[in-house]
Amino acid sequence: GAVVSQHPSRVICKSGTSVKIECRSLDFQATTMFWYRQFPKQSLMLMATSNEGSKATYEQGVEKDKFLINHASLTLSTLTVTSAHPEDSSFYICSARVGRGAPGVETQYFGPGTRLLVL
């Protein structure tokens, strides 16, 4: 299947700094990518939908000025956590959607996740 990578896999930062997480589709083009957040022992929570060349669509309750999303190309989306605080510490996961094709094809491929720890 298609591969989605994330970088970095783990990051530790000081409170008040900004952190950028990259999500790349390695062998396919993704017009749409999704960003999720997962706290310990909880399920994945969708944060936003990122479409190439346009503004991201944020889920209710997610601060768009704090979680900046850029989808500048068909293979790269970035999530920047601005002025990070300890409560932003979480597991951030992206997924990339293959273009609408035959229903027999998997729809979304997930990255391995990025673990953020804010001190």
Partner 1 sequence: DAKTTQPPSMDCAEGRAANLPCNHSTISGNEYVYWYRQIHSQGPQYIIHGLKNNETNEMASLIITEDRKSSTLILPHATLRDTAVYYCIVGEYGNKLVFGAGTILRVKS
* Binding site residues, partner 1, CB under 8 A: 1, 4, 6, 34, 36, 43-46, 49, 91, 93, 95, 97, 100, 103, 106-113, 115
Using the minimum distance from each CB to partner 1, give the nearer residue, 63 or 106.
106
- Per the structure block, which two tokens stand in for 116? 């953020």
| In the complex, least distance from residue 85 CB atom to partner 1, rounded to whole angstroms | 23
Of the pair 17, 106, the CB lying nearest partner 1 is at: 106
DSSP 2-39: --EEEE-SEEEE-TT--EEEEEEESSS--SEEEEEEE-
Of the candidates 54, 90, 51, 83, the residue with the CA atom closest to the CA atom of residue 67: 83
> By the 8 A CB rule, do 26 and 4 touch?
yes
Provide the minimum distance between the beta carbon of 57 and partner 1 in the complex, in angstroms, as a whole number: 9
| Distance in Å, CB of 109 to partner 1, minimum | 7
